[in-house]
Structure 1
Amino acid sequence: MKILKKIMFLSFAIGALVLSSCSSDNSSDDTDVPGSQEGFMKFKYNEKVYTFSEPALITSGSVNIMGSSGIDDTYKKISLWAPLNITTGSHPIVYDLSNLTTTYQATFSFIPEINNSNATSGTINITANDDKKIEGTFSFSGTSKGETFTVTEGSFRIIKW
């Protein structure tokens, strides 16, 4: 019986070691590179890199690819707007609320400095759009309270369900 207990204890200990060595690292370090099956939105603002995990894909009259984090006075958000017939390729960002169904647009919040301001120039480049994901890159700039803001080195992957 003692031998059986030792064998069971050793089996349990070995199993625990194997499971702990295989656990995933879910840290939110900005230098993490998302895996191929994960959604993300990453960008640089004021020389600092930010990452939103699990951005949303919202469709109505247009497609909204939205990443956000924080609440109240730490809220940060990027919304990339595209037509429902989103196509691969490079698309200029055009601020035109009358044509949400045909133009590519972007809005940016970085509370408390910037609250839901529209980009007035930039590019959204859709590199993949299939039944599993939408991927691409972006950069844009605009004006808020008389100050210019610039978002660079943006990239995203939206996993479709």
Structure 2
Amino acid sequence: MKKLSYILFALFSLSFIACSSDDSSSSSEDDNSLYVRFTANGQQYNFEAETITSLQRLVMGDEDVNDVYTRISLWMPVTPTTGNHTITDDLPSDDNLETLYNAELWIGDATYTGTVGTLTITDLSEEYVKGTFTFTGEDENGVTIAVTNGSFRAYR
């Protein structure tokens, strides 16, 4: 009976070791998180990504940063494709919904519409879209802002 107790104890102990956490694996936090990250005016931003789909796909992130509402919006076709896509300030129409890529940055009361830039889709899966972006935005007064080092991972 004593041998059986030792065997059961050893098996029970091994079951805890076999179920240990996989924290030391090679996957990083980014592999599982949703985010929109970028730099504007020297300030780095890191938001949780949200996705809204209607006539276009909107990937956005927003929050109050130092008591100032800040939001980034990346617009793309409902069925995006991998590769480099030009960001423009063209308005959506029936003719361009499947090819239009836009970007917008809100900082407080200022809204900067992307006038020139690139949105690159690097990965598409059944569930996620991932990529990078950079653009120059302009507000209604002609003030420009450079958005650099942009990256995102969001639900598709």
Q: Does 1:107 find its partner at 2:104?
A: yes
Kindly provide the CA deviation profile for residues 66-104 of structure 1, in whole angstroms up to 9, marking residues without a partner as x.
111118x61111110001120000000011114361310
SS of residue matched to 2:31: coil
Q: Partner amino acid for 2:102?
A: Q
> TM-score, structure 2 length as denominator?
0.73
Q: Does 1:40 find its partner at 2:43?
A: no
The question of whether the paired residues in 1 share the 8 Å contact of 2:92 and 2:100 is answered with no
SS of residue matched to 1:35: helix
The correspondence of residues 9-158 of structure 1 with structure 2, limited to 5 A, is 34-53=29-48, 55-70=49-64, 74-99=68-93, 101=97, 102-112=99-109, 114-115=110-111, 117-144=112-139, 145-158=141-154
Query: What 5-or-longer segments of structure 1 have no aligned partner?
Result: 1-21, 25-32
Runs of 4+ in 1 over 3 A off after TM superposition: none
Aligned-residue identity in percent: 35
> TM-score, structure 1 length as denominator?
0.71
Query: What 5-or-longer segments of structure 2 have no aligned partner?
Result: 1-20
The question of whether the paired residues in 2 share the 8 Å contact of 1:38 and 1:159 is answered with no
CA positional deviation for 1:34: 4.1
Number of aligned residues:
126
**Pairwise CA RMSD of aligned residues?**
2.1
